[in-house]
Chains A and B, each alone.
Chain A
Amino acid sequence: MTGAGCWAAATSGQWTSSIAHSLFPPASFSELLRILTLRSGYNAAVVILGATLLGLAAGVIGAFALLRKRALMGDALAHATLPGIAAAFLAATALGGQGRSLPVLLVGAAITGVLGILAVHAIVRHTRLKEDAAIGVVLSVFFGLGVVLLSYIQSLQQGNVGGLSTFIYGQTAAMSRADALLIGSVAAASVVLALLLMKEFRVVCFDDRFAAAIGLPVGLIDLLMMTLVVIVTVIGLQAVGLILIVAMLIIPPAAARFWTERMARMTLASGGIGALSGYLGASASALLPRLPAGSVIVLTAGALFLLSMLLAPSRGVLTAALRSARLRLHVALEHTLRGAYETLESQSPAPPSAPPPPVPLSAIHAVTTMHPLLWLLTKLSLRRRGLAALADAGATLRLTPRGLAEAARLTRNHRLWEEYLVTHADIAPSHVDRSADLVEHILSPDLVADLERSLRARGELPTPPPSVHPIGKGLRT
């Protein structure tokens, strides 16, 4: 027979039908509301508040750790707390004390956690191993040692190790009121300290060499930052558990980064996301006691991360895609208009004038090489803006007088830029949008006049035709 393993045989069949039901058992809405509004009893309220403050602290401090590129250090640290918890339990019991007192266990956790960090530093410094290997080694070996100690405690049969293993996955239900108060106040204090040090953390995270050059003690500031990370990790052990506490340090700041380009705002947003995750996760855990709080908190944070990554206005993936699509449409539109104008120029020696004759599409290079979907959007956009319309059953493009004026303006700008780049390339500023509307806004009027003179001399300066319609913005000839 095969080993029994830990996957006890399932009586299958009924399974698939009831998964959804089993995952989300119906809970009364009023109960949910009661918990979320902290009215489900003083104890639950304190625990939820504690988890919220913890999320806030983890978010704020995690933001600094992420920007310092030390995100995964928290993982090594968190795993390294396990032997400390077990050893503190053993020591406290041996001394006749109450083994499972939270402060004692957390002190043990902090000690081995710090040892873990020091070990990572020592390995990176004194051996040829790189940081990733050092983190992995510390994480697994310390945790393995913790597992051995836990199995030893279990074999002593003195007590239930279950009390200790809540630290692995987190169990808000195991939190007493005093525990929650302790956790909440330590979290609040570390947030205050972190915000006071915002300026120092900012310069060290951005440019530690410069920080050292202006005389800041970079080592001390790093030490303070890591101390705050240790504090958050240790107080988060009971609520979130040591495997997932690192998520509370990474996910909120990574999500917050999508929303803003400023460090102060990012830190606050990260704290907010962390707090919201802690609040919702602890509430859900209060509702469904078997659900490990840590996982729910992390999943909440994960959902917020996903939303941020997709939808955030400044760096979100979808918004960025939309922006780039819009830009492509804009460029396609301009290329089409310019292509039409150049075709008109080639048809008659006189400058094109309104109303212009229709231009065969096959003569416009930009159109013939355009992706069909893009061309469709371009067509729609041209018509909507009243710049041009298709004629002759879609074989030709007829510019409206306004479209002609716009095309002339675009062509003129384009040629001015070209001329400028050819003659003055050595001092051309980089990163200039070359289809830029407003040559005049970037180059000096004298220079524009110069460029126009040389273009006119070669007969390449488009002049917009006199038009009865109002002429497009930025047109000056």
Chain B
Amino acid sequence: MPPSLHTFLSTDLPALLAATFAAVSCALLGNFLVLRRQSLMGDAISHAVLPGLVAAFLIAGTRSAWPMFVGAALAGVVTVVLVELVRRLGRVEPGAAMGVVFSIMFALGVVLLERAAARHVDLDADCVLYGQLELIFWFPPNTWSDLLTLDTLSQFPRQPTTLAVVTLLTIALVTLLFKELRLAAFDPDLATSLGFSATALHFILMLFVAGAVVASFEAVGSILVVAMLICPAATARLLTDRLLPQVLVSVLAALISALGGYALAATAPTWLGTPKALSAAGMITTVSGVLLTAAIFFSPTHGVLAKRLRHVRLAITIAREDLLATLYRLEEANQPPPAAAQSSVLSPQSFALRLALRNHEIEQTPSGALRLTETGRDAARRLIRTHRLWETYLVEAANLRPDHVHDTAETLEHLTTPPIHAELTRHPPPPTDPQGKPIP
């Protein structure tokens, strides 16, 4: 086995697996938190498990998995219950109730931790936040043949294995309860009335969140857990409109964040010239933020840029149609065709002019005047007709005043889809519009 592969197997593989499993399980659960507007519950739980962990450690005296898991899960459940209690009994609004509970729990955890540390036991609050991905390692055998023996595999670090189990359980939960979770996220009251108690589902979900938080925190830190609960789901929410694709996309986003973030953190020394790798958990979080930012800007359906682009395209269409209609109206009034007006090269008008010329809808006479071609005239006639049909409709059906409808019709004519057009002409239109102009 080549030494580089050996290094990979010993340091990178376990950490990568831990990060990936943590990211995937959190992202799966996050979809439902984001939809139920309880994203911050993940944040609250991940802070609030700290006293549970420390207490379990102090009581059991070991840091083996089970007592810690039980302690943290208990703390998670206590948090959920306390938040509900403070909210209902104390009549405190939900966000504030969460803030009160998780900050007190976290403060309690930090104090316990520091006092424990004073007794020569190195418990470190920082690792709860950042995790210690870099410190998970494995001593793999030197030969391929020994790789898959029971002995070597049993030495595989605990964190990735635990996280793999948690991920499998989460996948099972989401698969089995997909329909129920979707219903409860969309309409909790309906879910309850149909016999799927929304409260019970809420607690199941929270229990799993607590489980994922506990399994993840030691490896990746609570900050990464919070990020993975929210960012991939939010990213997916901007890219899809249905829940199943959203869940799948969120998993993909989580995978990209975990692998990409880890790779960036590991290769940072080479391109930054620093001697040590950067925080992998922080980098994975950052990558998930970058993915979300990209989705915010570039999502084809909901992205800021896509909306902007649609807007520009529409502006050009409108300018082109206005140009054709103006020329038509001038022809109708027997006025001479105008010359092309000067407008900025980047304005919608100038794009529209070039577009119309290229489509042979208008042509330029040698003197520079603009004139409709036969194709252009047909298109213009259709537009004018739509415009005047709208005016008629607005006055007759909607009771608007005849001297008011021109501007509204001016906008609507550009947005008239074939079905709307069919609807407009369902009744035979009168020969003239409200202003007495003929409807072509």
Contact = CB atoms under 8 A, between A and B. Distances in A.
**In the complex, are there CB atoms of A and B closer than 8 Å?**
yes
Interface of A: 1-10, 12-13, 15-16, 18-19, 22-25, 66, 69, 71-72, 75, 123, 126-130, 132-133, 135-137, 139-148, 150-152, 154-157, 165, 168-169, 243-244, 246-247, 250-251, 253-254, 257-258, 290-292, 294-296, 298-299, 301-302, 305, 309, 315, 317
Nearest to A257: B92
B114 A291 contact: yes
Interface stretch (B204-212, B228-236, B419-427): B228-236
A15 B58 contact: yes
B125 interface: yes
A107 to B, nearest CB: 23
Nearest to B93: A69
- Among B86, B90, B118, max chain A CB count under 10 A is at B90
Given A10-B61, A15-B58, A243-B47, A137 B40 contact: no
A56 B238 CA distance: 41
22 contacts: A3-B132, A3-B158, A3-B159, A5-B132, A6-B218, A7-B123, A123-B296, A126-B296, A128-B237, A132-B95, A135-B40, A141-B227, A141-B292, A150-B279, A155-B269, A155-B275, A243-B106, A250-B100, A250-B103, A251-B104, A254-B92, A305-B104
A247 to B, nearest CB: 3
Given A137-B227, A140-B226, 9 more contacts: A2-B157, A3-B219, A5-B63, A7-B218, A75-B99, A132-B40, A135-B40, A141-B231, A141-B289
**Which 3 pairs across A and B sit closest by C-beta, in order of nearness?**
A144-B285, A12-B61, A141-B289
Contacts of B62: 10, 12
B275 A157 contact: yes
Contacts of B34: 129-130, 132-133
B224 interface: yes
Interface in B154-176: 155, 157-159
A91 to B, nearest CB: 16
B398 interface: no
B286 interface: yes
Contacts of A16: 58-59, 61
A129 B157 contact: no
Interface stretch (B134-142, B328-336, B342-350, B389-397): B134-142
A7 B125 CA distance: 10
B285 A143 contact: yes
Contacts of B124: 6
Contacts of B129: 147, 168, 243
Interface in B14-41: 14, 34, 37-40
B281 A133 contact: no
A10 B43 contact: no
Interface of B: 14, 34, 37-40, 42-43, 47, 57-63, 86, 89-93, 95-100, 103-104, 106-108, 110-112, 114-119, 121-127, 129-130, 132, 135-137, 139, 155, 157-159, 218-219, 223-224, 226-227, 229-231, 233-234, 237-238, 265, 268-269, 272, 274-279, 281-286, 288-289, 292, 296, 302, 304
Nearest to A21: B119
Given A9-B63, A137-B230, A247-B104, A71 B285 contact: no
A152 B271 CA distance: 12
Contact of B278 (A10, A148, A309): A148
Contacts of B108: 295, 299, 302
A13 B60 CA distance: 9
A309 to B, nearest CB: 5
B174 to A, nearest CB: 19
Contacts, number: 275
Given A140-B223, A290-B118, A247 B107 contact: yes
A146 B229 CA distance: 19
B157 A3 contact: yes
A18 B91 contact: no
Contacts of A8: 121-123
A148 B133 CA distance: 13
A9 B62 CA distance: 7
Contacts of A123: 296
Given A16-B58, A137-B289, A5 B278 contact: no
B99 A246 contact: yes
A147 B121 contact: no
Nearest to A243: B106
A317 B85 CA distance: 10
A295 B107 contact: yes
A24 B112 CA distance: 10
A136 B229 contact: yes
A141 to B, nearest CB: 3
A127 B238 contact: yes
Nearest to A74: B99
Contacts of B61: 10, 12-13, 15-16
A6 B107 contact: no
Contacts of B302: 127-128
A1 B155 contact: yes
A71 B159 contact: no
Contacts of A136: 39-40, 42-43, 226, 229-230
A5 B289 contact: no
A149 to B, nearest CB: 8
Given A75-B99, A290-B118, A144 B278 contact: no
Nearest to B231: A137
A127 B39 contact: no
Contacts of B39: 132-133, 135-136
A18 B107 CA distance: 21
B57 A10 contact: yes
Contacts of A250: 96, 99-100, 103
Scoring A18, A25, A299 by chain B CB atoms within 10 A of each residue's CB, the highest score goes to A299
B14 to A, nearest CB: 7
A147 B284 CA distance: 11
B360 to A, nearest CB: 40
A133 B227 contact: no
Nearest to A13: B61
Nearest to B278: A151
A19 to B, nearest CB: 6
A3 B136 contact: yes
Given A3-B132, A136-B230, A299-B111, A148 B47 contact: no
A18 B118 CA distance: 12
B296 A145 contact: no
A150 B274 CA distance: 13
Contact of B279 (A2, A25, A147, A296): A147
Given A72-B40, A247-B100, A23 B278 contact: no
